[in-house]
């Protein structure tokens, strides 16, 4: 029902663009963290969510690659529903982390894109909320026809149907 509403409300082409943009955002966010996990770990530490430094280190080396895979899959259009479910969960977690930091009065750097320049605040919260809405739209909408998956499926279908056509 929700899916039907979104399908009516948002054109397929626009959703394809949103999926592509969301993928690029995740790819962009992953690069700095992949290249510098130590700084990302420090950014995670200042949120004061993790008690164990070991856990922080595992999260710091794993999360950027999760973002990278999500980005690649969304851009290419593979596993779109699974990937958008994962990005939605990640964005909810990011939002919860930032909201909790703000509620505790921490003036900390976001570390969202690996860059230490941006502080956690209304701007980062609004931006991630926008990304979450995009991700949910991609999740709830039936995958658009411009994905690599549908391209491969169509090619396969043409190959199978060719002998019969002859």
Partner 1 sequence: MKIGMGKQHLAAISRILMVDAGIVLLSAGIGIALNRSFVARPRESLVAYTEVGEELNSLSGRESKVSTQISGHALLSEVNRIVASKSMELLDGRSEKDYEAGHIPGAYSLSVAAFDTLFAALADRFPQSTPFLIYCGSGQCGLSRQLAERLQQKGYLRLKIYLGGYNEWFLAGNPVEKGKGLSFR
CB of residue 86 to partner 1, shortest distance in Å: 5
CB of residue 106 to partner 1, shortest distance in Å: 5
* Cβ closest to partner 1, residue 5 vs residue 65: 65
Name the β-bridge partners of 109.
Answer: 119
* Cβ closest to partner 1, residue 4 vs residue 13: 4
CB of residue 151 to partner 1, shortest distance in Å: 19
* Cβ closest to partner 1, residue 104 vs residue 156: 104
CB of residue 58 to partner 1, shortest distance in Å: 6
The token pair at 85 is: 């479910």
Name the β-bridge partners of 119.
Answer: 109
Tell me the three state secondary structure of residue 50. coil
Rounded to an integer, what distance in angstroms lies between the CA atom of residue 20 and that of residue 105?
35
**Contacting positions for partner 1 (CB under 8 A):** 37-38, 41-42, 45-46, 48, 53, 56-58, 61-66, 68-70, 73, 79, 81-83, 85-86, 89, 104-109
Closest CA to 91 of 159, 137, 52, 154: 137
Rounded to an integer, what distance in angstroms lies between the CA atom of residue 37 and that of residue 33?
5
* Cβ closest to partner 1, residue 21 vs residue 66: 66
Rounded to the nearest 10 degrees, the angle between the axes of helix 12-35 and helix 37-45 is 100
């Amino acid at each position: 029902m929700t899916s039907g509403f979104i399908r009516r409300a948002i054109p397929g082409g626009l959703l394809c663009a949103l999926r592509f943009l969301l993928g690029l955002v995740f790819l962009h966010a992953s690069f700095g963290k992949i290249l510098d996990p130590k700084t990302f770990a420090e950014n995670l530490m200042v949120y004061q969510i993790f008690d164990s430094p070991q856990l922080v280190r595992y999260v710091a080396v794993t999360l950027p690659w999760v973002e990278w895979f999500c980005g690649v899959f969304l851009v290419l259009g593979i596993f779109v529903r699974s990937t958008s479910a994962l990005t939605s969960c990640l964005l909810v977690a990011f939002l919860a982390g930032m909201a909790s930091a703000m509620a505790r009065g921490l003036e900390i750097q976001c570390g969202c894109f690996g860059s230490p320049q941006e502080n956690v605040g209304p701007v980062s919260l609004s931006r991630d909320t926008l990304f979450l809405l995009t991700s949910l739209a991609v999740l709830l909408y039936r995958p658009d026809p411009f994905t690599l998956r549908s391209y491969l499926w169509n090619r396969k279908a043409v190959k199978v149907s060719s002998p019969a056509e002859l």
